Structure 1
Amino acid sequence: MLHLLSLHYTVSEHDAEPYVAAHVAYLERHHHDGTFLVSGQTVPTSIGGAIVAHGVDRPTIERITAQDPFVTNGVAAYSITTIAPGRVHPALADLLNPGA
Structure 2
Amino acid sequence: MFILLNTYTAPLDRIDELLPEHRAWVHKHFAAGDFFIGGRREPRTGGFVIAFGDDKAAIEDILAQDPLVGYGVVEWHIEQVEVQLSGNEAIRDALAEHNTPTEVPQP
Asked if these proteins are the same fold (TM beyond 0.5), I'd say yes
Q: Contact 2:2–2:53 at 8 Å: present in 1 too? A: no
Instruction: Give how far 1:49 is off.
Output: 0.6
**2:52 aligned partner, one-letter code:** H
**1:12 aligned partner, one-letter code:** P
Structure 2 residue runs of 5 or longer lacking an equivalent are 102-107
- Specify the structure having the higher radius of gyration (Cα): 2
Report what 1:51 is aligned to.
49
Report what 2:71 is aligned to.
73
Q: Residue deviations 1:42-98, cap 9 Å, x none?
A: 1111x0111111135111111101110001110001001010223344522332222
Structure 1 residue runs of 5 or longer lacking an equivalent are none
Aligned length: 98
After TM superposition, the structure 1 = structure 2 runs for residues 19-98 of structure 1, keeping only pairs within 5 Å, are 19-45=18-44, 47-89=45-87, 91=89, 92-98=91-97
Report what 2:105 is aligned to.
none
Aligned partners of 1:90 and 1:23: how far apart in 2? 30
Q: What percent identity do the matched residue pairs reach?
A: 29
Task: Please tell me the root mean square deviation across aligned C-alpha atoms, in Å.
Answer: 1.6
Report what 2:2 is aligned to.
3
Aligned partners of 2:32 and 2:23: how far apart in 1? 14
Higher RCO, Cα 8 Å, sep 6+: 1
Higher strand share: 1
